[in-house]
Amino acid sequence: MPGNSFQLEVNPKIPPALARLEELAGDLWYSWDIATRALFARMHPALWHAVNHSPKTFLKRVSQRRLDEAAADPIFIGTMNQVLAAYDNYHRAPALFGLDGRKRLQQDDLVAYFCAEFGFHESLPIYSGGLGILAGDHCKGASDLRLPFVAVGLLYRQGYFQQTIDRDGRQHPRYHDTDFADLPIKPVLREDGSELRISVELPERRVWAKVWLATAGNTPLYLLDTALAENTAADRDITHRLYGGDRTTRLEQEILLGVGGVRVLHELKIKPTVWHINEGHAAFLILERIRQLTGQRQPALAALDFGCALEAVAANTVFTTHTPVPAGHDHFSMETMRQYFSPYCEETGIGSERLLALGQTDGSQDFNMTALAIRGSRYHNGVSRIHGRVSAHILAGMWPQIEPLDNPVDYITNGVHAASFLAADWHGTFDRHLGLGWMQRLTDQHCWQGVHRIPDQIFWSIRQSLKARLLHLVRHRVRAQHLRNQASEAHLDRMLKLADPHNPTVLTIGFARRFATYKRATLLFNNPGLLREIITNSERPVLFIFAGKAHPADEPGQELIRQIAELSRLPEFEGHILLLEGYDLHLSRRLVAGVDVWLNNPVYPLEASGTSGMKAAMNGAINLSVADGWWGEGYDGNNGWEIKPGAESLTAEQRDAEEARTLHELLQDKIIPMYYRNTSLGYSPEWVAMAKQSIASIMPRFNVHRMLEEYVDKFYAPAAGQWRKYARDDFRGARQVAEWKTHVRQCWPGVALRRIDAPQQHVLFGDTLRVEVAVQLNGLAPDDVSVELVFARPGERNPAKSKHYTLRHAGPLDNGEHLYTRELTPDLCGKIEYRFRVFPFHELLTHPFEMGMMVWL
Ligand SMILES: *Cc1c(COP(=O)(O)O)cnc(C)c1O
Q: Average the pLDDT over 828-834 and give the result.
A: 89
258-291 pLDDT per residue, tens: 999 999 999 999 999 999 999 999 999 999 999 9
Looking at the CA of residue 600, tell me the nearest atom of ligand 1.
Answer: 7
Q: What is the DSSP letter of 683?
A: S
Q: Cα(525)–Cα(573) distance, rounded to whole angstroms?
A: 11
Pocket test for ligand 1, best of 137, 546, 588, 623 (most atoms within 8 A of CB): 588
Name residue 714's amino acid: K
Cβ(54) – ligand 1 distance below 6 Å: no
Pocket test for ligand 1, best of 513, 581, 607, 618 (most atoms within 8 A of CB): 513
Looking at the CA of residue 128, tell me the nearest atom of ligand 1.
Answer: 11
From residue 448, how far is each of 138, 187, 434, 454 by CA, in Å? 22, 42, 7, 11
Cβ(467) – ligand 1 distance below 6 Å: no
pLDDT of res. 448: 98
Looking at the CA of residue 584, tell me the nearest atom of ligand 1.
Answer: 13
pLDDT of res. 301: 65
The Å distance, Cα 129 to ligand 1 centre, comes to 5
3-state secondary structure of 154: strand
> Is there a contact between 70 and 76 (Cβ–Cβ < 8 Å)?
yes
What architecture does CATH give domain 107-280? 3-Layer(aba) Sandwich (3.40)
- The candidate with the shortest Cα–Cα distance to 250, out of 289, 284, 209, 287, is 284
- Topology of domain 740-856 in CATH is Immunoglobulin-like (2.60.40)
From residue 542, how far is each of 492, 510, 531 by CA, in Å? 18, 11, 10
Helix axes 456-484, 685-698, angle to 10 degrees: 90
pLDDT of res. 95: 66
Please report which confidence band the pLDDT of residue 329 belongs to, taking 50, 70 and 90 as the band edges. Answer: confident
Angle at 230 between CA 226 and CA 234, to 5 degrees: 55
Q: What is the DSSP letter of 123?
A: T
**Element spanning 256, H or E:** none
pLDDT of res. 375: 98
Cβ(584) – ligand 1 distance below 6 Å: yes
Cβ(219) – ligand 1 distance below 6 Å: no
Whether 679 shows a pLDDT value over 90: the answer reads no
Q: Cα(373)–Cα(706) distance, rounded to whole angstroms?
A: 25
The Å distance, Cα 549 to ligand 1 centre, comes to 11
Whether 721 shows a pLDDT value over 70: the answer reads yes
Q: Cα(164)–Cα(491) distance, rounded to whole angstroms?
A: 19
Cβ(263) – ligand 1 distance below 6 Å: no
State the CB neighbour count (10 A cutoff) for residue 565.
Answer: 21
Looking at the CA of residue 588, tell me the nearest atom of ligand 1.
Answer: 15
Cβ(611) – ligand 1 distance below 6 Å: yes
3-state secondary structure of 209: strand
pLDDT of res. 149: 97
- The candidate with the shortest Cα–Cα distance to 180, out of 196, 159, 157, is 157
For a pLDDT cut of 90, what percent of the chain falls above it?
88
From residue 570, how far is each of 481, 491, 495, 567, 575 by CA, in Å? 18, 12, 11, 5, 10
> Is there a contact between 202 and 252 (Cβ–Cβ < 8 Å)?
yes
**Element spanning 818, H or E:** strand 818-824
The Å distance, Cα 101 to ligand 1 centre, comes to 26
- Contacts (Cβ under 8 Å, ≥6 apart) of 796: 802, 833
Please report which confidence band the pLDDT of residue 798 belongs to, taking 50, 70 and 90 as the band edges. Answer: confident
Looking at the CA of residue 611, tell me the nearest atom of ligand 1.
Answer: 7
pLDDT of res. 799: 82
Looking at the CA of residue 612, tell me the nearest atom of ligand 1.
Answer: 7
**Element spanning 544, H or E:** strand 542-547
Please report which confidence band the pLDDT of residue 479 belongs to, taking 50, 70 and 90 as the band edges. Answer: very high
The Å distance, Cα 612 to ligand 1 centre, comes to 5
Q: Average the pLDDT over 165-179 and give the result.
A: 94
Mean pLDDT of the chain: 95
Name residue 459's amino acid: F
Query: Could you tell me the residue ranges of all domains in the chain?
Result: 16-92, 107-280, 418-702, 740-856
The Å distance, Cα 611 to ligand 1 centre, comes to 6
Looking at the CA of residue 130, tell me the nearest atom of ligand 1.
Answer: 4
Q: What is the DSSP letter of 118?
A: B
Please report which confidence band the pLDDT of residue 758 belongs to, taking 50, 70 and 90 as the band edges. Answer: confident
Backbone φ, ψ for residue 474 (5° rounding): -60, -45
Q: Which residues pair with 545 in a beta bridge?
A: 510, 578
Q: What is the DSSP letter of 800?
A: G
Nearest CA owner, ligand 1 atom 4: 130
The Å distance, Cα 608 to ligand 1 centre, comes to 12
Pocket test for ligand 1, best of 52, 131, 612 (most atoms within 8 A of CB): 612
Q: Is the dihedral of CA 396, 398, 402, 405 positive or negative?
A: negative
Cβ(612) – ligand 1 distance below 6 Å: yes
Q: Which of 116-120, 325-329, 617-621, 776-780 has the lowest mean pLDDT?
A: 325-329
pLDDT of res. 103: 73
State the CB neighbour count (10 A cutoff) for residue 757.
Answer: 11
pLDDT of res. 801: 87
pLDDT of res. 363: 82
pLDDT of res. 239: 97
Q: Average the pLDDT over 297-317 and give the result.
A: 85
Q: Average the pLDDT over 523-535 and give the result.
A: 94
Looking at the CA of residue 512, tell me the nearest atom of ligand 1.
Answer: 9
Cβ(133) – ligand 1 distance below 6 Å: yes
3-state secondary structure of 276: strand
Cβ(282) – ligand 1 distance below 6 Å: no
Cβ(610) – ligand 1 distance below 6 Å: yes
Q: Average the pLDDT over 557-582 and give the result.
A: 95
Backbone φ, ψ for residue 775 (5° rounding): -115, 125
The Å distance, Cα 598 to ligand 1 centre, comes to 12
- Contacts (Cβ under 8 Å, ≥6 apart) of 436: none
Q: Which of 91-105, 339-353, 551-565, 568-582 has the lowest mean pLDDT?
A: 91-105
3-state helix, strand and coil shares in percent for the chain, rounded to the nearest 5: 45, 20, 35
Whether 676 shows a pLDDT value over 90: the answer reads yes
Angle at 294 between CA 288 and CA 298, to 5 degrees: 120
Whether 814 shows a pLDDT value over 60: the answer reads yes
Q: Which of 77-86, 96-105, 327-336, 356-365 has the lowest mean pLDDT?
A: 96-105
The Å distance, Cα 412 to ligand 1 centre, comes to 18
Nearest CA owner, ligand 1 atom 11: 129
pLDDT of res. 99: 61
Residue ranges of the alpha helices (H) in 570-684?
A: 585-594, 612-618, 631-634, 652-665, 672-675
Backbone φ, ψ for residue 213 (5° rounding): -120, 125
Nearest CA owner, ligand 1 atom 3: 130
Cβ(588) – ligand 1 distance below 6 Å: yes
Q: Cα(512)–Cα(579) distance, rounded to whole angstroms?
A: 10
N- to C-terminal Cα separation, the chain: 88
Name residue 533's amino acid: E
Q: What is the DSSP letter of 820?
A: E
> Is there a contact between 217 and 27 (Cβ–Cβ < 8 Å)?
yes
> Is there a contact between 68 and 15 (Cβ–Cβ < 8 Å)?
yes
Q: What is the DSSP letter of 199?
A: E
Q: Average the pLDDT over 608-615 and give the result.
A: 97
Nearest CA owner, ligand 1 atom 8: 610
Same fold, 418-702 and 740-856: no
625-669 pLDDT per residue, tens: 999 999 999 999 999 999 999 998 999 999 999 999 999 999 999
Cβ(585) – ligand 1 distance below 6 Å: yes
Looking at the CA of residue 613, tell me the nearest atom of ligand 1.
Answer: 7
pLDDT of res. 148: 94
Looking at the CA of residue 587, tell me the nearest atom of ligand 1.
Answer: 13
pLDDT of res. 107: 86
pLDDT of res. 240: 95
- Contacts (Cβ under 8 Å, ≥6 apart) of 473: 587, 590
Helix axes 717-747, 306-315, angle to 10 degrees: 140
Nearest CA owner, ligand 1 atom 1: 612
Backbone φ, ψ for residue 22 (5° rounding): -65, -35
The Å distance, Cα 514 to ligand 1 centre, comes to 8
Looking at the CA of residue 592, tell me the nearest atom of ligand 1.
Answer: 15
Strands 331-332, 317-320: pairing kind: unpaired
State the CB neighbour count (10 A cutoff) for residue 215.
Answer: 17
Cβ(321) – ligand 1 distance below 6 Å: no
Q: Could you tell me how far CA 94 lies from the centroid of its own chain?
A: 27
> Is there a contact between 582 and 603 (Cβ–Cβ < 8 Å)?
no
- Topology of domain 418-702 in CATH is Rossmann fold (3.40.50)
Cβ(414) – ligand 1 distance below 6 Å: no
The Å distance, Cα 819 to ligand 1 centre, comes to 57
- Reduced 3-state DSSP string for 43-111: HCHHHHHHCCCCHHHHHHHCCHHHHHHHHCCHHHHHHHHHHHHHHHHHHHCCCCCCCCHHHHCCCCCCE
Length in residues, the chain: 857
